[in-house]
A and B are shown apart, each in its own frame.
Chain A
Amino acid sequence: TQLLEQSPQFLSIQEGENLTVYCNSSSVFSSLQWYRQEPGEGPVLLVTVVTGGEVKKLKRLTFQFGDARKDSSLHITAAQPGDTGLYLCAGAESFNKFYFGSGTKLNVKP
């Protein structure tokens, strides 16, 4: 059983469309991170959110941490083929344990 559930698992969209990926849990996390992973490579950190209700923007990506610090969302505006990859959320317990979601595989078609 995954502590963090991500949805959808797979997403295939056309270039220019918007999308939202969700990361949900029944646990409270001290921080939550979003990563993108390309095939054959390690995950690369996109953002860390720490405060409940926090919203962070990274160009066309908008990240939100739920008020109760149990869930998060990633919204991509005007997706591009370069956004293709596996998106992972990871929640940190009080100190050092990280729990990763199962991931969302995004494919953006030109």
Chain B
Amino acid sequence: DSGVTQTPKHLITATGQRVTLRCSPRSGDLSVYWYQQSLDQGLQFLIQYYNGEERAKGNILERFSAQQFPDLHSELNLSSLELGDSALYFCASSVAVSGSGEQFFGPGTRLTVL
């Protein structure tokens, strides 16, 4: 158990819908990272927040947005869903703001778009 929690574990929805994925970091970690893992793309970095502020952006679509709240939990919002958005979404947390720190991954949310 990494100490990072993600809800829900599974999510099935239809194209065009909007969903919210939730992540609670390990106690004491200020950084939250979001990743998308699909069969053909591997693990892709989406976005990072540190203590409530966006710090780095990866290959995140404009239909996707995220935020980190004062209690440090984070939410990833996916809208106008397409079939290709079906994937495993992971969040990871670390104590550091920079990239050399150890990241602890949550168990992931499996999103299926029908």
Which A residues form the contact surface with B (CB < 8 A)? 2, 30-31, 33, 35, 40-45, 48, 50, 88, 90, 92-103
Q: Which of these, A2, A44, A92, A96, contacts B42 with CB under 8 Å?
A: A2
Q: Indicate whether B18 reaches chain A with its CB closer than 8 angstroms.
A: no
Complex interface: stretch among B66-74, B75-83, B101-109: B101-109
Is the pair A42, B98 in contact by a Cβ cutoff of 8 Å? no
Asked if B42 and A101 sit within 8 Å, CB to CB, the answer is: yes
B105 touches A92 (CB 8 A): no
Separation of A41 and B108 alpha carbons in the complex (Å): 7
- Check if B99 sits within 8 Å of A43, measured CB to CB: no
Binding site for A on B (CB under 8 A): 2, 4, 31, 33, 35, 42-45, 48, 50, 55-56, 58, 90, 92, 97-100, 102-108
Once A2-B42, A102-B42, A103-B42 are accepted as A-B contacts, the answer to whether A95 and B98 lie under 8 Å apart by CB is yes
Of A41, A45, A96, the contact of B104 (CB 8 Å cutoff): A45
Chain B residue contacts of A101, Cβ below 8 A: 42
Instruction: Say whether, besides A41-B107, A96-B97, A97-B58, A48 and B90 are in contact (CB < 8 Å).
Output: no
- For residue B103, give the distance in angstroms from its CB to the closest CB of chain A: 7
Cβ A100 vs Cβ B44 within 8 A: yes
Q: CA–CA, A41 to B105, complex, Å?
A: 9
Nearest opposing residue in chain B for A90, CB measure: B43
- Residues on A with C-beta less than 8 A from B108 are 40-42
CA distance A48 to B103 in the complex (A): 10
Whether A30 lies near B56 (C-beta < 8 A) is no
> Which A residues are CB-close (under 8 A) to B100?
30-31, 48, 50, 92
Residues of chain A lying within 8 A (CB to CB) of residue B103: 33, 45, 98
Contacts of B50 in A (CB 8 A): 96
Q: Give B33's nearest chain A residue, CB to CB.
A: A98
Q: Are A95's CB and B42's CB within 8 A?
A: no
- CB contacts (< 8 Å) of A40 on chain B: these are 107-108
